[in-house]
Amino acid sequence: MTFEAYGRLIALGPPTYRFTDELPERAMLLRHDIDDRPRWIEPMSRIEAEQGKVATYCLQVRTPFYALDDEADRAVAALLDDGHELGLHFDSSRMASDDEVLEGVEREATLLEQRYDTPIRVVSFHMPGVRPVGHLDLGDRVNTYAPRFFTEISYLSDSNQNWRGKDPEHELRTAGRIQFLTHPTLWSGRPLREILEEQAARLGTSVEDLATDDQKAVLEMQAHHP
């Protein structure tokens, strides 16, 4: 999976929009969750901008995989310069209550707003399967897993380079309203094993210890069908 292939894919979809309540009949919401180094944001952002498309890049504040350092600052500057929007990617998976999640979202969104001097309207949750998030009302901010952006429209994700049996070209070509989630690092031209090897080396661990069960299943699949 390459950035060029990503560009060909999104060219098939409906026109892009920002996350908003007023979506026309045909609308594509491009969302990126940043779970790996921010360096992969820029090539993706540029490909979208070349097509006049708009996307939302959701950045984490606390993650072992990267920091809000010079690399992140450069990536955010580039995506804002390309006309995209910055959002928050929030890990609620180990939190005990909705109140704790809402407080955390507010704290981290405010931190991003102050650091990058841009409004944070959009919030996506990391590992949303671990603890339900779709019902959370974030006030002025948008929850990308609210039913109107998730279950009530089409939804497509590149999770761990696995389309879950879906044909992304067909999905995008035939979509009315669709949210399309992609992770820039997965399009950097490397199979998942190489991506995880680089992450493991950086974190001083092994792919065996780092990979989630889902990632291990994809590694197994890619080993048999490279």
* Binding-site ranges for Zn ion (CB under 5 A): 33, 35, 126
Q: What is the DSSP letter of 174?
A: H
> What's the closest the beta carbon of residue 159 comes to Zn ion, in angstroms?
9
Residue of 199, 178, 213 lying closest to 28 (CA atoms): 178
Nearest-angstrom CA–CA distance, 146 and 20: 12
Cβ-in-10-Å burial (0-12, 13-18, 19+) of 165 comes to: exposed
Of the two residues 35 and 82, which places its CB atom closer to Zn ion in the complex? 35
Indicate the Cα dihedral angle 44, 186, 128, 26, nearest 10°: 50
> What's the closest the beta carbon of residue 33 comes to Zn ion, in angstroms?
4
E-strand stretches of the chain: 27-34, 55-59, 85-91, 122-126, 142-143, 154-157, 177-182
> What's the closest the beta carbon of residue 187 comes to Zn ion, in angstroms?
15
What letter represents residue 37's amino acid? Answer: R
> What's the closest the beta carbon of residue 35 comes to Zn ion, in angstroms?
4
Of the two residues 12 and 93, which places its CB atom closer to Zn ion in the complex? 93
Of the two residues 45 and 124, which places its CB atom closer to Zn ion in the complex? 124
Of the two residues 39 and 126, which places its CB atom closer to Zn ion in the complex? 126
Of the two residues 27 and 41, which places its CB atom closer to Zn ion in the complex? 41
> What's the closest the beta carbon of residue 89 comes to Zn ion, in angstroms?
6
The residue of the chain with the least Cβ separation from Zn ion equals 126
